[in-house]
Each structure stands twice: as C-alpha cells, then as structure tokens.
Structure 1
C-alpha cells in the first residue's frame, strides 16, 4: 500500500520551511531512491464538538509575555504522558477582556476598497482617529514606551524627542527566521499614523530605518539587511506610529498585501519627491496631502460610519 512508504522515508536534509513555519519540505530517500516529503499542518476542525474541547485539550502552555489585555503563549495540541517531552506546535494569542472592536476585527467579513482623499482624511478619518485614541486603547503601547512592560524583549532603543525602540511582534514565535517579525515603536505621541509624516521628518525616518536594520542583523547575524523589508499599515490597527520589520520570505497574506501595507522606502521616496518639488518651502507638507487607497472590512467602523455613507451620499458625522 502507498501509505506504507511514509514510515520508510529517511531524511537527507530540510529543503524549505514556509507559510510561517507551517509547512516543511524534506529531501530524503525511500528504499534508496530519492524522495521529497512535503508536510503541512492540517486545517483546524471547526465542528462544535472539537471547538468546545479545544482550549481544555491544550498542554504544556508556556507564557511568552503579557501586556494590558494581550497575552501570548506557546502550547502543545496533544496530551502526552511526559509533558516535558512535548514540543509546542501552536502559537496562541489571548485578548482578555476583548471589546466589540476586537470581535469585528477578527470576524470573517467582506472587504471593500476605498480611496481616502486629503479632504476625507481631514474631515472624517482624523476625527475618528482622535476618538479612538481618547478611548484609552493605547495603554499597552504606553506600557512598553514608559518601561512598565516587555522591557526584557527590547532589542534596541533610543530615547528623546525622536526616540524609538525595537522588539519582537507578538505574532512571531521567536524561532523561525523565515517568519521573523519585529516591531519598531516611536516614543513621540504626535505621530499617529503615516498620515502625520511630513517633509521635515525625512531625516528622522531614514535614521530609524538604518538603526532598525542594524539592530536586527546584529541580533540575528544569519540575516543580511537585504533579507528584510520594512512597512507600515494603513489603516493601522492602532493609532500610534509603528514600523513592521519582517523577513522578505515571510508570505504576505492580508497584512502585507496591497491595500494594507505601505513600504517604508516608498514613503521616504514620496516625501523626498515633495521636497524636490517644493524646495525650502512647505516643510509641513506630507502624507496628509495625498490620497491613499486601501481595503476595509465591511464590519469596521471606518466602513459603516464613514465610507459607506459617503458612497451612498449620506452626510457623515463622526463626533
């Protein structure tokens, strides 16, 4: 029987690991003939019986960190007589207590492409950002910046008016280099998103880019700078400016796709073009003066409260 060949596979070497470590490609042999074995984690069972028992079935749960309502863990999906011998095969993120905004964000939903003009940003989106910041959802960011949480994870830091720090993103398992994902957080609180970047910030953004790259390859010497890509999200998940640093081989999915991610080098280039066009005048010109096109989930407030009413010709009030 064909299935009897699998136990006969003798490993030669690992050819590849992709999909953020969820698939491996092995080169080996079966009965002295060369063979390639591709192993990919099966999809989770979604019937109510399995889902009801899922959390209780986890073993060897190891906390990787906690900050405000967010915690993250490694865990094993199968029980074993000797828990110490288990290798974690799951990365868990826990949001507790979660809000309705979290429920909307993580729910399956349709997507819409929208174009945010400078006028729409100024009159509708900027007030929406202000409202969200005033709701206190940045406590976990401020915990890091002010030194109360996750300081053992900080890879690099510069203090001051233009200070920033580098640490692992909570979605990375901190093991597979091909899925490396780090986060650069700025200390200043007046830069909420890419929209706040202006011509006068070019030198600062370039400095951050070089320092983030330098710190990453220093900590992980098996990497070269040209194996890393830096981008920002728009719209971002939270309104405090941050830069994502990932391995160039990390499969993009939705978070790095067109309509969500903006390459940092392209942002710098756009600001430099403004500088070349405007000369010494207009240091305040910047990303708030251009139109940005991106996708939104149909359950997001930006769609339901702003862009859908604009599409339907309804007067929008975000106050």
Structure 2
C-alpha cells in the first residue's frame, strides 16, 4: 500500500476535526477560531474567507452565481442585501455569507470614493475651514446628496429599522448602519442621526451644545444595550467622521471588538468623548462679545484620497501655493 504524501496526509486531517466550541470570531465575522479534536487529541482550527478572485472571467459571472438574495433595505439610490456565494442545489439551507451594498444609479463622486487611490494627510486650520471647506460643504448639500437622510428623518423610509427616536429641535434617531449584517454582535454598527439641519459636521458643535451631545450619547448607549442585551455600555464606542461622507451630523456606535479599518483609524474618526472634552476646554475670545467657542476654532488633521474633490480643488492647490479653487 502506497504511503500518503505529506500534503495528502495533512489534507486528511480536516475531515476528522470534531467541534467542541467556538473560541473566537473576528474581522467582522470573516474569520472564526474553533476548538475541537482530531483522533481524540485537542486541535484548533482557524477558518478565514478567501479573497475574492479578481480576474475578468470570475468578476463577469459574480452576480449570476449569487443565490438566496434577500433585500435588507432600500433608500433613495442605496440598497443592501444578504446573499449566498454558491448556487448549488443545497444552497437554500446555507446561511448567507455575503453582505452586498448596491448604489444605483451611482454618480462620479461615488466612483471616486470607492476607487483605489493614494492618501494624503492634511491639516485644516480654522481659516481653511471658513474660506474653502465650509463653502465646499454648502455646495455639496445643495446638490441633493442628503435626500436619503431626509427620507429617514421625515419618516418616508426605513422607519421599521428605527431603534430609538427623540423628536424636536434637539431630536435624533438611532438605526442600524447599512454596512452591518444585523446579526454578528461583535461587528455591531449603529448610526445616530440628528433631526436638526444646522449642524452639518463636528465643525458646527459649540460649547452650548455640550449638554445636548452628552444627553444624546447616553440615550444612544441606553437604547443600544436595551435592544441588544448581550452587549454592555462599556463594550461600545462612539465616534464621528471628519471629513464625513455626507454633511449632516451623525454619530457611529460600534462594538469595541469591531476591527478598526480605515473608517475608524486616526485621520478619519474622532471619539465622541474626546470631542466633548475638547469643547469643555475651549474658551470664548474675550474681545468678541457674545462669541460662542466651538470646533470651528481648532485645527483638524485628517486624510483625503487623492481623487477626492477636497484634495484636488482645495488642499493640493494650497500645497502648491496656488490657493484653493472652488470649482
């Protein structure tokens, strides 16, 4: 009888693995660590989803190979789904292994955002904010890119997903972020959206807003742990993006075990508690009667993609000594 090759002997071990329990799950559910036995001896098995094939042949047939596509929600041009990556005869009994987001129809700004590109670190001074970035924000808001947010606030879409809501001038609501699969607790990702429309970003927060922001933080935490009782408050972190994807103030609430990719990294995310602390330390300028200090008075450093309009129209010209060109 021929002896098995080392590779064949190793491959024969996997079918013999007998599960005892799950040890860990990370990378937003894409990797699991299992404890079990093989031939009565303890063994640990780490399983991680393979990278997507990127050759044209595979990509051309990608969508046609999906099965059990289930829509989780739709709002304006945004749609999100769960699906199975295999369309075999028994795929109906398999849990979905893909989370899909569809932007349709998409615009040039979406293509730039999601394209691979180099990054640049920039420092936005109060002067650059007032002279260049705030007018940029105004222009983007006037282009109608906030329709999907207003749909939620005004009760036209996603109302079945709203976890908590307070109405009024200082109202806000809480709902799942469209990037969460809504089942993996260690990758929990919720979104707190304010009702008021005069706060576009963290830059609009002032000392007078401290009590409101603290109240909102506590209510968001309370509502999150009430709906998901397996999670405690100190297992959640709250942050805001700057620059944000859209200019209507919102707060991200995520599980602390959610691995910090680019969206939680330094240069993109600002901890809400740190923002509150910074607001508390700011002092009004004594020469300006009635002046209200705020986040518009500090310099913020963050990263930008080289394809973003803020880089090409503002910070690159400033770097080259030409001044920002608001196109």
Range of TM-score over shorter length: over 0.9
**TM-score of the superposition, structure 1-length normalised?**
0.97
SS in 2 for 1:191: coil
The reply to whether residue 271 of structure 1 matches residue 286 of structure 2 is no
RMSD in angstroms over aligned alpha carbons?
A: 1.4
SS in 2 for 1:243: strand
Query: Structure 2 CA distance, aligned partners of 1:318 and 1:29?
Result: 64
Check conservation: 2:171, 2:194, Cα contact below 8 A.
Answer: yes
Query: Structure 1 CA distance, aligned partners of 2:36 and 2:131?
Result: 61
- Selected match of 2:196 from 173, 176, 188: 188
Query: Structure 2 CA distance, aligned partners of 1:4 and 1:283?
Result: 73
The reply to whether residue 288 of structure 1 matches residue 259 of structure 2 is no
Query: Structure 1 CA distance, aligned partners of 2:91 and 2:11?
Result: 29
The reply to whether residue 261 of structure 1 matches residue 263 of structure 2 is no
Query: Structure 2 CA distance, aligned partners of 1:174 and 1:267?
Result: 28
| Structure with greater Cα Rg | 2
1:83 deviates by 4.5
1:29-85 Cα distance to aligned partner (Å, 9 max, x none): 110111000000000000000000001111100000000000000000001224531
1:276 deviates by 9.3
Runs of 4+ in 1 over 2 A off after TM superposition: 275-278
Query: Structure 2 CA distance, aligned partners of 1:29 and 1:210?
Result: 45
Aligned length: 318
> Structure 1's 316 and 197: CA in aligned 2 closer, same or farther, altered over 3 A?
same
Aligned residue number for residue 31 of structure 2: 23
> Structure 1's 244 and 100: CA in aligned 2 closer, same or farther, altered over 3 A?
same
Aligned residue number for residue 155 of structure 1: 163
1:282 deviates by 5.3
1:191 deviates by 0.2
Check conservation: 2:284, 2:291, Cα contact below 8 A.
Answer: no
Query: Structure 1 CA distance, aligned partners of 2:93 and 2:189?
Result: 27
SS in 2 for 1:255: helix
Aligned residue number for residue 246 of structure 1: 254
1:283 deviates by 5.6
Query: Structure 1 CA distance, aligned partners of 2:67 and 2:323?
Result: 53
Aligned residue number for residue 47 of structure 1: 55
SS in 2 for 1:206: helix
**Which structure 1 residue ranges, 5 or more long, are not aligned?**
none
Check conservation: 2:285, 2:291, Cα contact below 8 A.
Answer: no
